[in-house]
Amino acid sequence: MDTDDLGSQVSPLQIELHLRFFFDVFSFIQSHFIFLVGQTSCAFIYTNLPKCWDSNHKGQLGYEDALNRGDNVNEMGNYLLTIDLGTEKTLNQFKSGLAQACTILNDDTIKCWGDGTYGATGSGSLDHIGDGSGEMGDSLAALNLGTGKTPVFVSGTLYSTCVLCDDDSMKCFGYNGQDHLGYGDTTNRGDEANELGNYLPVVDLGTGRTVVTL
């Protein structure tokens, strides 16, 4: 079989199909980054804004109500809205705990919403955030991690949240019943005023030891 002219035998239709396949794969990579964590399922579209579905009894989906998404018809696809993170705010990184969610935004701030039990959202109260009108978007304040502390990575567990800062230090808040937060006590953090910001210490990992990842 003469293979010298195989390249010239590729039809325009074959070229079109290959191009379609390439762009379909590229589009999927660009617009389908999916997290399935705790009681929340989220996908990040190319605008870097999340769409979330699943259980929403404590506002963890961020739609300013307590209605589950995805358990009835006409709740997915174009019916499912992106979450309002604020004016010109998009996400860089996202993490969900059991029923709380946190995202590091494009301006290097961090916002959390959902289940406020034990202070897991760092709001300074036990209130749930995202289950009522006027709680998301520009109304949702960024967390104060303290002077000179910029978040670069966030991790959530059941009712606890830890943030890696740009100086390789780590701060944690939320449930601390068995010293989950690493502060040498069992006091929850983030459920009362004056517990975040400079009031919240970094976790002491020992002399010369810094955090690489969470």
pLDDT tens track for 118-160 = 999 999 999 999 999 999 999 999 999 999 999 999 988 888 9
pLDDT recorded at residue 95: 83
- Confidence (pTM): 0.80
Question: What rounded mean pLDDT belongs to the chain?
Answer: 84
Q: Is the pLDDT of residue 34 over 80?
A: no
CA-CA distances (angstroms) from residue 195 to 25, 52, 114, 190, 191? 46, 29, 19, 5, 8
pLDDT recorded at residue 201: 95
Position with higher pLDDT, 147 vs 26: 147
Tokens standing for residue 18: 């290959």
Q: Is the dihedral of CA 190, 101, 82, 87 positive or negative?
A: positive
Tokens standing for residue 16: 């079109």
- Cα 89 from Cα 148, distance rounded (Å): 21
- Cα 175 from Cα 97, distance rounded (Å): 12
Tokens standing for residue 71: 């358990």
Q: Are residues 190 and 199 in contact, defined by beta-carbon separation less than 8 angstroms? A: no
Q: For the CA atoms of 177, 181, 187, 193, what is the dihedral angle to 10 degrees? A: -130
**Where along the chain do its domains lie?**
33-199
Which pLDDT band, with edges at 50, 70 and 90, does 28 fall under?
very low
User: CB atoms < 10 A from the CB of 198, how many?
Assistant: 12
pLDDT recorded at residue 45: 67
pLDDT recorded at residue 22: 47
Q: Read off the pLDDT of residues 81-115 as tens digits, 9 standing for 90 and up.
A: 999 999 999 988 888 778 899 999 999 999 999 99
Q: Is the pLDDT of residue 18 over 60?
A: no
Q: Is the pLDDT of residue 30 over 60?
A: no
Q: Is the pLDDT of residue 37 over 60?
A: no
Q: What is the mean pLDDT of residues 47-59?
A: 87
Q: Is the pLDDT of residue 14 over 70?
A: no
Tokens standing for residue 64: 């300013």
User: CB atoms < 10 A from the CB of 185, how many?
Assistant: 10
User: Quick check: helix, strand or coil at residue 73?
Assistant: coil
Q: Is the pLDDT of residue 4 over 80?
A: no
- Cα 155 from Cα 1, distance rounded (Å): 59
**What class has domain 33-199?**
mainly beta
